[in-house]
């Protein structure tokens, strides 16, 4: 299948790793958009540790293994993925590139990578689906207007989305000091177009000195009852995103969620939470094979994908890297970073003696002698 992507010549020749796009993206995005996409919560401790936790894991090379028939394919929720990487949901792609999510889905389609579209996409979800030639899931925030939420799910179903991803770890926006210091303002002409017409809650404090969160935002925050409500009417499999606790993982499985995504929202909500890669083994152990477990946060190399799979992840999600590539080079940039990541993952598999994804076991991770 061919896609009308421009040649890679528009990408500087020294851009050879995902992180190479980051300084270029800062030049393209402007101060406000850069602060929005790159920043984390508070002191950004979690944001940093999401990355360094991968660096602390070491790999054991294996030699002289039979690698005939090797490939990176895997199966997830009955869907065949060419490699265990999906694009995580990120809001407002048009703040990074004029074509927004349409450019992102073109790049994802060119590399046959699954894409999870945000509730706060800046392009209509129907238009994104019409342009997609790859697996497409829809990320959902349960809105205070529950009727509007149900209609949004119906739209995703009718447009052909193959799964829902319920994000549960951000009932409140985190304290993002970098964003505050930038004096952030949304780029003119960019909005969450799929939320047009929704009844907005009254977020004003009810009396002088009252907290904004308690008594307003948190009154309408979703609960496990809302999660059960969602599962009761949708025809699609639903994954739950934002799990760091084995107890929450168990509650999700008991209620019928089709999968779990271990995530701390890219370090953007609550600072000093543990890195998802550190929590992943506990959640995998709790799930005990009943549902697939995915993870996001800090993935920047193909070796990171290998490490996550070795610890039990069925797939990983990447976020900021593809958004930065989108800002620099549009659809071509998105396809480029996916190509880089897949190549790195394949090389890492080969050098650790894993011909197929199901051969990746914990034994590829070095254990420090006691």
Phi/psi at 296 (5° precision): -140, 170
Name the one residue in this structure whose structure tokens are 């990447």. 318
Is residue 28 annotated as a catalytic residue, yes or no?
A: no
Name the one residue in this structure whose structure tokens are 């394919």. 73
Q: What letter does residue 94 receive in the DSSP assignment?
A: G
| Greatest C-alpha distance within the chain | 72
Q: Which of 93, 97, 135, 265 is catalytic?
A: 265
Report the chain's C-alpha Rg in angstroms: 20
Q: What span, in angstroms and rounded, lies between the C-alpha atoms of 303 and 360?
A: 12
CB 105 within 8 A of CB 134: yes
Phi/psi at 210 (5° precision): -75, 145
Q: What span, in angstroms and rounded, lies between the C-alpha atoms of 346 and 354?
A: 9
CB 115 within 8 A of CB 345: no
CB 341 within 8 A of CB 302: yes
Q: What span, in angstroms and rounded, lies between the C-alpha atoms of 253 and 10?
A: 46
Q: Which of 88, 93, 209, 92 is nearest to 138 (CA)?
A: 88
Name the one residue in this structure whose structure tokens are 């998802």. 276
CB 60 within 8 A of CB 366: yes
Q: Please state whether 8 falls in left (phi above 0), alpha (psi between -120 and 50) or beta.
A: alpha
> How many CA atoms, within 13 angstroms, populate the side-chain half-sphere of residue 344?
19
Three-point CA angle 195, 196, 198, nearest 5°: 70
Q: Tell me the catalytic residues.
A: 265
């Amino acid at each position: 299948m061919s896609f009308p992507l421009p040649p890679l010549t528009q990408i500087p020749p020294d851009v050879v790793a995902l992180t190479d796009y980051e300084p270029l993206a800062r030049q393209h995005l402007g101060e406000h958009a850069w602060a929005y996409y790159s920043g984390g919560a508070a002191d950004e401790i979690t944001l940093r540790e999401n990355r360094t936790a991968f660096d602390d894991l070491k790999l054991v090379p294996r030699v002289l293994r039979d690698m005939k028939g090797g490939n990176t394919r895997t199966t997830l929720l009955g869907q065949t993925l060419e490699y265990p990487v999906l694009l995580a949901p990120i809001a407002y792609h048009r703040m990074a590139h004029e074509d927004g999510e349409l450019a992102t889905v073109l790049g994802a389609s060119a590399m046959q990578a699954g894409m999870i579209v945000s509730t706060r996409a800046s392009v209509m979800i129907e238009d994104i689906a019409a342009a997609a030639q790859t697996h497409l899931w829809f990320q959902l925030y349960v809105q205070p207007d529950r009727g509007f939420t149900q209609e949004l799910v119906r739209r995703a179903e009718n447009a052909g989305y193959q799964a829902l991803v319920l994000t549960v770890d951000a009932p409140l926006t985190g304290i993002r000091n970098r964003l505050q210091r930038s004096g952030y303002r949304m780029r003119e002409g960019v909005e969450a177009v799929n939320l047009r017409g929704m009844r907005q809650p009254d977020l004003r404090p009810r009396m002088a000195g009252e907290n904004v969160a308690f008594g307003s935002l948190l009154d309408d925050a979703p609960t496990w009852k809302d999660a059960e409500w969602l599962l009761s009417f949708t025809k699609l499999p639903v994954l739950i995103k934002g799990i760091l606790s084995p107890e929450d993982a168990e509650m999700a499985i008991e209620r019928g969620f089709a999968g779990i995504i271990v995530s701390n929202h890219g370090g953007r909500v609550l600072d000093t939470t543990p890195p998802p890669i550190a929590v992943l083994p506990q959640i995998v152990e709790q799930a005990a094979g009943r549902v697939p477990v995915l993870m996001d946060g800090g993935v920047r190399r193909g070796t990171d994908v290998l490490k996550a799979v070795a610890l039990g992840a069925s797939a990983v999600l990447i976020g900021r890297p593809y958004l930065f590539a989108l800002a620099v080079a549009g659809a071509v940039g998105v396809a480029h970073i996916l190509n880089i990541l897949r190549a790195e993952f394949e090389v890492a598999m080969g050098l650790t003696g894993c011909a197929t994804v199901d051969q990746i076991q914990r034994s590829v991770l070095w254990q420090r002698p006691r």
